Amino acid sequence: MVAADGRVAGVQRKRHLGEGEDAYTAAAEPAVFEQAGVRFGVAICAEAGFDAPFEAAAAAGARLVLFPAAPGLYGRCSDDTSWREGFSWWQGSGLGDACRHARRLGLWIALAGQAGSTADEDFPGLAALVRPDGSVAARLPDWRPGVLTVDIPQE
């Protein structure tokens, strides 16, 4: 859901479901939004490994893709080593895909991942802003919850 000025501005559901999400129905169409003069698309979690959500945003004139993710880790993280391993996996997978999509399509990509533990699952975190050349402009240092505040240049 995209919210602006205290109201729902639009909704984008996943177009590609992840493992264990068979009970849900994937969206058939992409949505592109505009806020404060910036056109953007949304790619959600498991969509990182698919080209179509990012390509649809670029084709619709978006210059930014928001990439929220909550990739659950297999097994519980019980110490810094297991958290580091989960975080390393998501850096290679989620951030790696974000960099690849940014580079091939010339998009800014803002990744925000769920961090920490719930009652039955652990999440590797990771917040980053990726430049259109695929390089990382800013990021949080590790798997711990935090806030990343960035400015995306007006081009």
Number of domains within the chain: 1
Tell me the C-alpha distance between 23 and 59, whole Å.
30
Query: What value, to the nearest 5°, has the Cα angle with vertex 106 and ends 105 and 110?
Result: 100
Q: Does 93 map to a domain? A: yes
Question: Any idea what the CATH number is for the domain that residue 90 is in?
Answer: 3.60.110.10
Q: Does 82 map to a domain? A: yes
Q: Does 23 map to a domain? A: no
What's the pLDDT at 155?
66
Whole-angstrom CA distances from 35 to 49, 62, 84, 98 are 26, 11, 36, 22
Tell me the C-alpha distance between 93 and 45, whole Å.
11
- pLDDT tens-digit readout, 32-84: 888 888 899 999 888 888 899 999 999 999 999 999 988 878 888 888 898 88
Q: Does 132 map to a domain? A: yes
Q: Does 62 map to a domain? A: yes
Q: Does 50 map to a domain? A: yes
State the residue for tokens 């990382």.
136
For residue 137, what are its two tokens?
A: 């402009």
Tell me the C-alpha distance between 87 and 127, whole Å.
11
| pTM for this predicted structure | 0.88
Partners of 69 in the β-ladder: 113
Altogether, the residues listed in the chain come to a count of: 155
Q: Does 155 map to a domain? A: no
Q: Provide the residue range defining the domain that includes 41.
A: 29-139
Q: Does 102 map to a domain? A: yes
